[in-house]
Structure 1
């Protein structure tokens, strides 16, 4: 019953995280597009930075942006913050429900670094807090005045974090933690910089003062960072379904290239919406990098071809010892209520049916078993690969 309840908790939290994330990213993309699409109007009032006309749902909309603030505050002012807060909260609870509750299975990989449950959880939480503190200090340092230099240093630190996570957590957890780190930085930007600066500007207006333009400039910088981080964080969050990424021995390199791809794509759209030309070369480079990742992911120095063939009996012994505890009609592994993805491997016919998944998850990558919980060896992976390469024959 507890295992089933945890499965439902995982589902509900994932659903909530997706809903809140759509709301946050949707509003973020819209406002960045709106900001980039503002144009000077012949009839705009003094203090107005730009205007934009929009049509949606059968209606026309007219929007103006002030360079600092309007002459007086309207009676009703809409704030956009809870989408971000609830996205992070639902994501953190999802992280806890899956990776903290199931730390021995999903978070810890003894082959990478043996450690206790609470040691791993503490390291996880501390890394998210430390990551935000380092980033925030960089933005407030003299380096923060140079956007290009700050972007380069920030990218290097994120890649270093990606590599570091692979040295302490399971490969799957490492990728997810990069996403959690980026998501924490993005939400903390909203909670500790963007919204507070907006509140300061509003407070100055209520006091009859002219708002300090530096508040808007700081908030704008953090908002732009969030814009460029959106695509990489989405990739990191969905990557746990694709072991070809996190399961590669140099998965952190793949993630680093994905960050570059995401930045190039966002930069293309930002420039286009600003009216600075349609720079297809950014998309071309991004496409070539994706093609490069396809070829790079094929290379895995860990796995060598097995000399000689492998029989069904050889493969079945390994599957029975290393896989069936989870992949069965009635799993016996603690914390597993039903066979993951409905994949059952109790019979030769089932093994053959799911041979491609076995090859993807346990041979070409080391995604399965999670955290190598059943201690499958490299030789056993090679035997499974040889049986599949020979056609996954049942005789």
Structure 2
């Protein structure tokens, strides 16, 4: 498939993934909000655990929740499942399009000893194992301590993040953690929540009393999905931020951001129940600020052999030396006429054909190739640490081209 067709396919699948993901997460947030705002009904009714009045779009809504199930099945029953299924399916398609078909560039580290096929096989097996371990922990600890279960699941996800960071590129490691979380969330819907709801429906149709344990089990998995939404959303956008995934301890950065996401979600869940803890949001903000300082990459050491001015001045780097590095390591893709196979246009419109173009993109070059090693992608052109330092010194000195 040519690059134009590939880009349009990528765009279409990504658009679908975002659209259905919004629908899934939105319904998850709404149902958890409604659960938290249920109040005892004004008039006691058999089986009704609570009711909720809402106003929206110029009309009033009355919601009732049954502790187990109503006495009879209503003629129309709405199921919420396809949002989850289509989000997972489109996400897996996107994972395959970008990271599996482009495994040598996007999935594996530049110095990986694995073949692309081996890397893809490991990724697929890891997603299956991720669900199996999570589901096993939930079943073993069913009806026991939710805190112990949360701690064990968190440790398992931390181990997975570390493992992915050892095998895959930093960018792919973050996406793989997100894919594992998404698989767990979709598995909860497909293998636990919906089957238990169907058992309750079958019991009603047979004139039997549904088993309350089925509802409790589904509710627990639904709550898990609620807490996992913000971490999985972060992984979806993480590929745009090399500052997060390009460091040696990127798995710890991911774990810290995920923990902040769970913490923020917990604030809103408590708030929905009328328990307002205002200190939680400033604490989350402070944690992100601290993480930004702690994880910020150190500037590269000044390149050897360059003249230096005053003690405060950055080393003087001749532009022709910068131009040679850019030409050798970057211009194959970042040009009006790229020569790299499969690249028909400069990525993100950044062309480095002239001195003025290079200078105008100095900030992006620093962010992607100096402060981090996100570019060249997979370091396919072999940019060295010394060359990154030279670029950094030139940019910090003012990115002069004269």
**Length-normalised TM-score, structure 1:** 0.96
Greater relative contact order (CA < 8 Å, ≥ 6 in sequence) = 1
Measured in 2, the distance between the counterparts of 1:162 and 1:317 equals 38
Which stretch of structure 1 is more off in the superposition, 85-94 or 140-149? 140-149
Shift of 1:248: 2.3
Q: Distance in 1 between matches of 2:195 and 2:156?
A: 26
Q: Which runs of at least 4 in structure 1 moved beyond 4 Å after TM superposition?
A: none
User: 2:161 matched to which residue of 1?
Assistant: 162
- Aligned partners of 2:331 and 2:351 also within 8 Å: yes
The answer to whether the aligner puts 1:304 opposite 2:301 as a matched pair is yes
| Cα distance in structure 1, aligned partners of 2:86 and 2:37 | 28
Alignment of 1:242 with 2:231, yes or no, is no
On the 8 A contact 1:144/1:150 being kept in 2, the answer is no
In the TM superposition, residue 331 of structure 1 has moved relative to its aligned partner by 1.8
Q: Residues 59-208 of structure 1 correspond to what in structure 2 (within 5 A)?
A: 59-111=59-111, 113-142=112-141, 145-208=144-207
Counterpart-to-counterpart distance in 1, 2:251 and 2:142? 26
Segments of structure 2 that go 5 or more residues without pairing to the other structure are 307-314
Q: 1:88, 1:329 → 2: CA distance?
A: 37
Structure 2 residue 227 is the aligned partner of structure 1 residue 228: yes
Residue 253 (1) aligns with residue 270 (2):
no
Kept after mapping to 2: 8 A contact 1:138/1:144? no
Deviation at 1:339, TM superposition (A): 1.4
Residue 381 of structure 1 is aligned with which of 375, 388, 395? 388
1:334-353 alignment, distance < 5 Å: 334-353=341-360
Q: Unmatched 5+ residue regions in structure 1?
A: none
Give the one of 337, 341, 361 matched to 1:354: 361
* Residues 204-232 of structure 1: per-residue CA shift (max 9 Å, x gap): 11111100000111111110110000000
From 281, 287, 290, the counterpart of 1:289: 287
Give the SS at the match of 2:39.
Answer: coil
- Counterparts of 2:332 and 2:5 in 1: how far apart (Å)? 20
Which of 375, 379, 383 aligns to 1:372? It is: 379
Distance (whole Å) between structure 2 residues aligned to residue 143 and residue 78 of structure 1:
28
Matches within 5 A, 1:30-41: 30-41=30-41
**Cα offsets for 1:41-62 (capped at 9, x unmatched):** 2214121111110111101000
1:333 & 1:187 partners in 2: Cα distance?
38
Q: Does 1:324 align with 2:331?
A: yes
Q: Secondary structure at the match of 1:167?
A: helix
* Partners of 1:289 and 1:306 in 2: CA distance: 34
Tell me, yes or no, if the aligned pair for 1:48 and 1:67 is still in contact at 8 Å. Answer: yes
- Structure 1 window deviating more from structure 2 (230-239 vs 338-347): it is 338-347
Match of residue 309 from structure 2: none
> C-alpha separation between the residues in 2 aligned to 1:345 and 1:305?
24
Partner residue in 1 for 2:312: none
Post-superposition shift, 1:144? 6.5
How many pairs align? 392
- Aligned partner of 2:310 in structure 1 is none
For residues 259-285 of structure 1, the C-alpha deviation after alignment (integer angstroms, 9 at most, x for no partner) is 11111111111111112x211122122
Deviation digits for residues 59-114 of structure 1 (CA, Å, limit 9, x no counterpart): 10000100100111101100000000000111111111111111121112233x22
Scaled by the length of structure 2, the TM-score of the pair is: 0.95
Matched residues in 1 for 2:142 and 2:377: separation? Answer: 41
Distance 1:145 1:330, change over 3 A: farther
Any idea what SS the aligned residue of 2:167 has?
coil
Q: After the TM superposition, which of the residue ranges 252-261 and 51-60 deviates more from structure 2? A: 252-261
* Alignment partners' CA distance in 2, 1:345 and 1:153: 49
Q: Is the 8 A contact 2:243 2:297 kept in 1?
A: no
